[in-house]
Amino acid sequence: MKVVLPNVTIAMTMRNMLRAYLFGSLTIEVDGRTMPEIAGLRPRSVLAWLLWNPGMHARAHVASLFWPDVLDISARASLRNALWGIRRALDSVGGAAYLESDRDSVGIADGLAREVDTEEFVRLAERDDTASLREALMLAHAPLLADLADDWVLDAREEFRERAGAVAGRLAELCEQDGDLRGAVAWTRRAIAHVPVRESAYRALMQRLAKLDERGEAMAAFERCHAMLDAEFGTVPSESTRVLADRLRTGQEAGEGRRVAASPAQHGQAAQRGQAAQHGQPASRAHRSRQRPLVGRDGELTSLSDAWAGACHGHGGVVLVSGAAGLGKSRLVTELINTVSGQGSRCAVGTAFELDGAPPYAPWGDLLHQLVTDVPAPSLDASWPSDLARLCRSVEWRWGRPAARSSADPEQERRLLFASVAEALAWCSGDRPLLLVLEDIHLADTASIALIASLGHRLTELPVLLVATRRLASAPAKLVIAIDALRRKDALVTDIHLGRLSTTELDTVVRSCAPELADDARERAVEVAEGNPLFARRAALAASGGAEPSHELRDWIRAPLARLDGPARLLVDAAALLGRPMDTGEAAALVGSQQLAGALERACHEELLDTEARRIRFAHALVRQACGAEIEPSRRAWLHGRIAEMLEERPGRPVAEIARHLLNAGDWERAQAYLITAAEKARSLGAFDEAAGLFAEAASLETGTLAQRAELWLALADVHAWRGHKDEHDSAFEHARTVLEQVDDSVSLAGAYALRGRCLRTTLCHPVEALRAYERALHIIDTEHLDAPELRAIVVAGFGWVEVASGDVERAEALLAEVEIVSEAVTDLGLAAEVCLARAAALLRRGRPRDSERASEDAAGLARRAGRQDLACSALVHAAAASAAQGEFGHVLELADRMRRSRPASALADEALAVRAYALARTGRCAEAWDAALAYVRSVASTGDPTQEASAEFDAASVALESGRYGEAASRFEVALAEPSGPFSRALARVRRAEALVRDGLPDAAHRELEHVPFEPAGQTDLPETLVPKLELVEGLIAAARGARDRAVHCLASAEAAWRRMLGGSSAYEPGAVTFVDLARPPVGGQVEPGVELGRVLAERAVLLSDVGRAEDASAAAEEAILLADRLGFDGYRQRVNGLCSPVVTTE
């Protein structure tokens, strides 16, 4: 539906008139000609935003608004491309002049005639006369920009609902002033329909109905207000509203109407419900548990209680309650919840969604909402609440802390998010022990499971017990890995496995819920239950209703469903399709606030639904599935659409859920918009698996333009790169490339290759393929003479980085110099910092570590000025590598401390610990080095990322090897190698593990480890030229341990020769004379000093030669090894060879 704008006098006949309709789907007309759909995802939203915000805007502001997570120059390049698409679409209907832009600003031209329905709405609303206000509401006939789901759109949509409610309220006031009370009542009802949670509107309705002598209707309005507040907030109406209701009851309000009786206990009961909700205690669960005794689980309950007792004394952790469906996992946990509630401790419950494509961290968001509403806000000095607000919007509403702006690194965002959850649990358990319950974690998303794993060690230090229920048969691999991680961290308190109940125990269950059953019926119920207490209960209820118990749960469900009236059946069906506990506010929006209490009572009476602290859930997941299976297809689709509408109007706007329900309702176009927003949110929180699934689903829908589908495939390719899944990245990129070539969009195609180059250069670390991608992007830009200076600068800079890392250094420096003269790049401090850091890397490759260090410090300064603290810390890491190459390890330690101070609780702070461990080990401070390495491992464990944990284990193992902790080193290398996608050289890990084993007296195990080396991948970044002599050293140690001394001497001689060749004509005795650096690794694992390695080999050779009686050769080797140790500041082998040097002979 399109509403004609009221201002027809401006000129239906005027030429060059742009009309924009933002209510409903975005529609643009120029002189009556409809503009075609704009290609691409962002351009349509950009145009809508410009229409919503008339006037000129700084390009930098618009670019950062729509592309916040990339370099400024990249955002400007994307904006340039989007504006090109918008201008082309407008030009097709003669409206290109309406888009006004220059080098610095962009906007909708002010001097040209236009009519925008949202502007007209505001103008009419400001007139404040009845006719204008009516026209305004006619314009707002549909949700704002219904085909878009960007965050700014959702906020604007909510704002206009509020405005429409205010306009309807003002119309009611004007009608009342004119004596039209019935009109006033109608407009007041309209205001409530727009904003159903505004108590003042209900109060106004009550007063106007009373003036019409309709006190019965007025009291009905009060009942609706009361039900709304109870359902939404667990509160009662304000005192002024209650006083008005009392006056209506006693006839003191104007008008003479029939009196309406009300229960005197009404307000007290509501207050009790509100208090229960405030403390987050599921009171109804306690009531249910009194009706359903816990049978046959005494031992399990004791284990659970013991774990809680430990948590109360500050030794928390994780407890798993495992078992098949229906065996009583939730019932057992309920018993603990009741105990905790009775003790006055704090409790929160979250449930994984039984819905595909659920929002990432969904059970955690629910759980944290309960905690935040029950706990006072922390001090403003604490920064973590702003990070937590990105996951739990209640932080902003309850604590007044807005969400922090996301950075360009989603992995870093996930790290900050995990740290904020840990801090939140510490805060919420500060005054009393805390019980957390996560139900059905076998259904949880990957991100939620990773968060559980990351909290393991921290929970052991807090009075917090996390109890998670799961089905064993349904446990995904990701959950198995997380549980193993909890065990390794000693955070898994116990894993309680529930088995089937005995016949005697089942008989007790049946008697408790149907004591009137005859013996034969009771025995039949026990028989069909087959040890499952849920089935026993449902069979007993079926038998008590006169039905014959069967083996199918659906057969037992049909009778109670048939007994439900319309509102109760609607509630049950909606709850079944929602796939998670429903809060009472949602239920009231679906079935009506007045009907909710009765509907819920009937559904609970049939033991289909249950309530707990304003949350409605099924008695069991199997009951939900059975009820859902009874919904016929057309009703199912209608209900999904109704649920989506309800969720769109709810605070918090769960976009992933809305997308899922729109899909199931068949509204694919709107579903795609929400899927995209949900995927972007997931990516920004580091939930890459969930983002990949959402982007893939959006891309698979046959909606939108080809250009939009190409953008979706590129977004998916980017997420797969963050996941480290190259094959999936390649496949998604190929889909995008094929589509872009089909639509002949050269700018977007060049941008696609630039994106691929960045992914291959950074997260995927495939320099050769990255080089090809950048070359292809540059070829497209230059041969087709594209006006894309920002994009070209990005491509050339990336090209230069690849050449620095693994290509031609001279070519790299030429490319970087080319970027520095591009005017569009000069003002981008972020890009300037990246180019400066690339130059630093090139200088290090040229053997100029001091110049490299200075350039790194300059890059850090530029990055700080650009607000890129992550890049600044990366530059400091590089400066540390350059200092290490000069042998200035004291300065390395200073740089590590600077990194930790500037970026605490981050991945870069972890890297600082790795740098510190390296420097300490290199200078012989082994005990301190080991402490730093362990701190590094503990810190990375909080990420819940197995690849990062594997990397930390590799580095810690390397420090352990250097420190003489050979058994520890071997074990940690084994743990690192168990993760197939660990970001380290697997071949080097095998060699180092073999060295640890042979030095620990296990030569045969070391030999078996070396047999794996040829089968491990080893690319150019693994420094293969340095790997061979290291392997030869270990082979020599194995041969010596086995008594094959000739073989040992040969291996060591070969290793010595290799290191001398690498040193070439350089002096091995000067620090940093020759240093090999793997730029993809931090200094712990990425730097190789041939002089130090030569000294190691000489020391081992000296010991071996001494053992075979070649004292003179042994002495010469020992003397050179000690000389190297002295000059290079390395004491790792000095004690072993001191006694092998020739004695100094003196004469008198």
**478-497 pLDDT, tens digit each:** 898 889 889 988 899 999 99
- 791 closest CA partner among 197, 255, 82: 82
Task: Decide if 885 contacts 1087 (C-beta within 8 A).
Answer: yes
Determine the angle formed by the axes of helices 42-52 and 59-66, rounding to 10 degrees.
130
- 399 closest CA partner among 374, 364, 420, 417: 374
For the chain, the structural domain boundaries read 8-254, 297-499, 505-551, 560-631, 1019-1148
Distances (CA, A) of 159 to 152, 167, 268, 289, 646: 10, 12, 35, 44, 17
pTM: 0.83
Rounded Cα–Cα distance for residues 402 and 389 (Å): 6
Topology of domain 297-499 in CATH is: Rossmann fold (3.40.50)
Rounded Cα–Cα distance for residues 363 and 5 (Å): 45
Domain pair 8-254 / 1019-1148, same fold? yes
Burial of 1001 (0-12, 13-18, 19+ CB in 10 A): exposed
CATH 3.10.20.80 correct for 1019-1148: no
CB within 8 Å of 230: residues ≥ 6 apart? 236, 270, 273, 274, 584
Q: Residue 404 — left, alpha, or beta (φ > 0 → left; ψ -120 to 50 → alpha)?
A: beta
Determine the angle formed by the axes of helices 706-723 and 668-684, rounding to 10 degrees.
30
pLDDT of residue 1079: 45
Residues written for the chain: 1148
Task: Decide if 206 contacts 245 (C-beta within 8 A).
Answer: yes
CA geometry: angle at 1084 spanning 997 and 808, to 5°? 115
Q: Residue 18 — left, alpha, or beta (φ > 0 → left; ψ -120 to 50 → alpha)?
A: beta
Q: What is the dihedral of CA 895, 901, 906, 910, to 10 degrees?
A: 40
Which residues in the chain come in under a pLDDT of 70?
Answer: 1-15, 231, 234, 252-291, 549-551, 613, 651-652, 824-825, 902-908, 1019-1022, 1065-1086, 1139, 1141-1148
Q: Quick one: tokens of 1138?
A: 């001191």
- 1087 closest CA partner among 930, 828, 887: 887
CB contact burial 1126-1141 (16+ within 10 A = b; e otherwise): ebbebebbbeebeebb
- Beta-strand (E) ranges in 966-1123? 1076-1077, 1087-1088
CB within 8 Å of 338: residues ≥ 6 apart? 285, 286, 289
Pairing of strands 18-21, 114-116: parallel
Q: Quick one: tokens of 875?
A: 């530059």
If you search the block for the tokens 């030869």, which residue do you land on? 1032
CB contact burial 521-554 (16+ within 10 A = b; e otherwise): bbebbbebbebbbbbbbbbbbbbbeeeebeeebe
Rounded Cα–Cα distance for residues 751 and 737 (Å): 10
What is the full DSSP assignment across 82-133?
HHHHHHHHHHTTT-GGGEEE-SSEEEE-SSS-EEEHHHHHHHHHHH-SHHHH
CATH 1.25.40.10 correct for 8-254: yes
Topology of domain 560-631 in CATH is: Arc Repressor Mutant, subunit A (1.10.10)
